[in-house]
């Protein structure tokens, strides 16, 4: 039986966390939900042993990544960027190609700026983008909604944190399934 080609596969999936930095977070709509769901994604990706990358936009001005996120990431290092899009974050896209990571799960802020430009550039470079709608946000609801609609229209797969994690698990009854089930509760 065939499975849909857009279903996430462990061997080709990666989590990309965009710019969840301390100085911008206080003005972001529903930031607690975004942080909570990002933590779930991190824990889930670690449980399934999948790669995680995170970026910081102009850290000199916007500060470091949220301590809550850094605590979950442990030994991971931020990829700094000055461009809004993560296409300008060192050789990130090239690294995805080299590691055959073509299904990019994206979360972060702001939906209509860095997230949207990253998503559009990923799509332009033939990556499949799975956008976690419950783990992205903007300052204004209108910006969030329009950006989500635009990214979906241009080819991003809009999904949720829990959908991503269970799609990657594929089956129940494994130790990873039990761990992820605890994470999403």
pLDDT of residue 1: 87
Instruction: Establish whether the linkage from the previous residue to 58 is cis, with ω within 30° of 0.
Output: no
Give the model's pLDDT for residue 90.
Answer: 84
| pLDDT recorded at residue 109 | 97
19: nearest Cα among 104, 113, 95: 113
pLDDT tens digit sequence for 66-85: 999 999 998 899 999 999 99
Average pLDDT value for the chain: 95
Report the catalytic residues. 19, 81, 114
What is the spatial distance between Cα 42 and Cα 27, in angstroms, rounded to a whole number? Answer: 23
Computed on alpha carbons and rounded to an integer, the radius of gyration of the chain in Å comes to 15
Tens of pLDDT, residues 113-140: 999 999 999 999 999 999 999 999 999 9
pLDDT in tens, 85-115: 999 888 999 999 999 999 999 999 999 999 9
Domain covering 10-184 assigned CATH 3.40.50.850 in the classification: yes
- Specify the DSSP class assigned to residue 116: H
At 128 the pLDDT is: 98
CA distance 51 to 172: 21
**pLDDT for position 86:** 94
Whole-model pTM above 0.85? yes
| Residue 185: per-residue pLDDT | 86
Domains of the chain by residue range: 10-184
Element (H, E) at 8: none
Q: Which residues lie below 8 Å from residue 173, measured CB to CB, with a gap of 6+?
A: none
- What's the mean pLDDT in 159-179? 93
């Amino acid at each position: 039986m065939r499975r849909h080609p857009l279903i996430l596969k462990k061997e080709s999936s990666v989590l990309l966390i965009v710019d969840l930095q301390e100085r911008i977070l206080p003005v972001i709509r529903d930031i607690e939900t975004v942080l909570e769901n990002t933590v779930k994604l991190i824990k889930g990706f670690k449980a399934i042993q999948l790669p995680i990358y995170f970026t910081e936009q102009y850290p000199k001005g916007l500060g470091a990544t949220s301590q809550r996120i850094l605590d979950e990431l442990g030994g991971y290092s931020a990829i700094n960027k000055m461009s809004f899009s993560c296409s300008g974050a060192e050789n990130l896209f090239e690294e995805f190609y080299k590691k055959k990571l073509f299904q990019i799960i994206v979360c972060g802020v702001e939906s209509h700026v860095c997230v949207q430009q990253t998503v559009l550039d990923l799509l332009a470079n033939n990556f499949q983008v799975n956008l976690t709608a419950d783990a992205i946000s903007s300052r204004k609801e209108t910006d969030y909604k329009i950006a989500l609609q635009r990214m979906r229209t241009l080819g991003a797969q809009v999904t949720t944190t829990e959908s991503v994690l269970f799609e990657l698990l594929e089956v129940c009854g494994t130790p990873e399934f039990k761990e992820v089930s605890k994470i999403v509760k």
